[in-house]
Amino acid sequence: GENVEQHPSTLSVQEGDSAVIKCTYSDSASNYFPWYKQELGKGPQLIIDIRSNVGEKKDQRIAVTLNKTAKHFSLHITETQPEDSAVYFCAASPLYGTDKLIFGTGTRLQVFP
């Protein structure tokens, strides 16, 4: 089945710097890759997603890139702000099988003012 690895587990940056979180997946048939942000005491919230027919997607300060050959995808946050501090999860959805979303283990991002 699908396996998603996420790195790093923690990331500290200075306000205004960029942050990059990377994920790799094992099932080459996976075709949907969302990113969720979880703030303390809340449920995860979708911030951006990408499908296997595109290589990059941007939404203001957030971008996601996908490399299907290498089976990895990354989240890029530019001009980080303290409110970006949260736990970020990547996920992958296999094309076939039980149609589950397999989540990575999460990255705790801290943005220091």
Task: Out of 20, 22, 26, 32, point to the residue binding another protein (CB under 8 A).
Answer: 32
Coil, strand or helix: which one is 84? helix
Q: Which residue has the tokens 């300060």?
A: 61
Q: Specify the residue, 19 or 44, whose C-beta has the smaller distance to another protein.
A: 44
For residue 104, give the nearest of 40, 52, 37 by alpha carbon.
37
In whole angstroms, the minimum distance from the beta carbon of 74 to another protein comes to 19
Q: Specify the residue, 30 or 80, whose C-beta has the smaller distance to another protein.
A: 30
Task: Give the C-alpha separation, 86 to 53, whole Å.
Answer: 29
Task: Give the C-alpha separation, 52 to 43, whole Å.
Answer: 26
In whole angstroms, the minimum distance from the beta carbon of 14 to another protein comes to 27
Q: Is 113 in the site for another protein (CB under 8 A)?
A: no
In whole angstroms, the minimum distance from the beta carbon of 33 to another protein comes to 10
Helix (H) and strand (E) counts in the chain = 0, 11
In whole angstroms, the minimum distance from the beta carbon of 61 to another protein comes to 19
CA dihedral 53, 101, 71, 79 (to 10 degrees): 80
Can you give the binding site for another protein, defined by CB under 8 A? 31-32, 34, 36, 41-46, 49, 89, 93, 98-101, 103-106
